[in-house]
Each structure stands twice: as structure tokens, then as C-alpha cells.
Amino acid sequence: MPKLQVALDLLTIKQALEIAKKCPGTHIFEAGTPLIKSEGIKAVTELKKHFPDKIIVADMKTMDCGYLETEMAAKAKADVVSILATADDNTIKDAVKAGKDYGVKVCCDLINIKNPVKRAKEVEKFGVNVVSLHLGIDQQKKSKYPYLTLRKLCKAIKIPVSAAGGMTDKDVPNVINAGADIIIIGGFITKSKDPTNATKLVLEKMI
């Protein structure tokens, strides 16, 4: 069964913790980029402190200083750190080295990559642990999620694949059918009047 990752793209740690507490059954909590930029890396530490049994992702979206930023997130108690696939190869390799040195996994975000399958194969060889086919919030204004590409991607590489991009409970069957291992959901849960019910709707579709 795929895992549910809730993206906490909020502006305060208080908001993030309040929402996270209303998401029973979630496998992974993501300290979103806006949260980290607003509150700092301590947002990761606080999530891990309150949810020690959950996987905590630091969505750093690292573009440079791969080793340093991965080390920083690892010391803040992240389990997974994200790096952009558009980053220089050496940046990604350095992040992977830091991941091995500090015991954290590296997720390579394929946002805005023209040929995501090709790039995923390349970063898999560098040693990244996960890749994410991510249709960004701004991209969603003009594009629909590329499920055909997701299917091709899942068949092309051996490491886990996550899917992100305006997902709701209705997208879960498509993600599962494409072969993804993780479905990342943000606003459908975090902006809901009832995050607990929204989480339940997603998890029911994942069974």
C-alpha cells in the first residue's frame, strides 16, 4: 500500500502542529518549504519532537550547498531531505554523501524538469533514495497532473516514487494505478474545514 505524505505548507509551527494532530493514519509529515522559510529549520525539529514515530521530510528544495543543507536538516532530526533535480550534479552527489554520513534519505524533486524520466534515471545513479514527480502550485494553473509520465517513471527506475501536485482523494486511484509509492497531499487536507475527515477520505482510497 502506498504511503500518505501530508505537506504542511503553512507559515507557523503552531499551525503545522495543529493540522498534523488532526491527520490520524498519516505516514509522513512534510515540513513544507514555506514553513521552513518562515520559521526556520526548527520547524523540522518540532515536528519530529511531537511525532517521533512518523517520517519527517524537510522540504528544503536545495539548489546549492547540497552537503551543508542536508547536514543541517539531518541535525534538525529530518528523516528525508529534498533537493531539486535542476541542481548541479555535484550538488546532488554532495547531498547524497551527507545523507549517508548523517543517516538521512535524499528525495530529488523533479519539479519543472523537461524530461523527468531521463533525469530520474540519472539521479538514481547518483544514489538518491526517492524521486518526486511534482507539479508545482503555479504550474497547476495551466497544466494537469502528468499521470502518463508518472507511469513511465515508475517503470523506469527502482527507487520509490512520490506524486505531488494539487492532489485530492479522487486522485488516489490514478496514483496507485501508475505505480507510485507515496502520494503527497497538501491543501486538500491542510485547508479543509475538517482535516481529519479529509485525511480519512484519502486513506480509504488507498486501501
* Residue 170, pLDDT score: 97
* Residue 20, pLDDT score: 98
pTM, full prediction = 0.97
Q: From 205, 156, 149, 159, select the one nearest 181 (Cα to Cα).
A: 159
Q: Are 134 and 113 in contact (CB under 8 A)?
A: no
Q: Which residues pair with 134 in a beta bridge?
A: 164
* Residue 207, pLDDT score: 84
pLDDT in tens, the chain (207 residues): 899 999 999 999 999 999 999 999 999 999 999 999 999 999 999 999 999 999 999 999 999 999 999 999 999 999 999 999 999 999 999 999 999 999 999 999 999 999 999 999 999 999 999 999 999 989 988 999 999 999 999 999 999 999 999 999 999 999 999 999 999 999 999 999 999 999 999 999 998
Architecture per CATH, 3-206: Alpha-Beta Barrel (3.20)
pLDDT tens for 48-68 read 999 999 999 999 999 999 999
* Residue 1, pLDDT score: 84
Cell of 82: 529534498
- Residue 13 has φ and ψ, to the nearest 5°, of -65, -40
* Residue 30, pLDDT score: 98
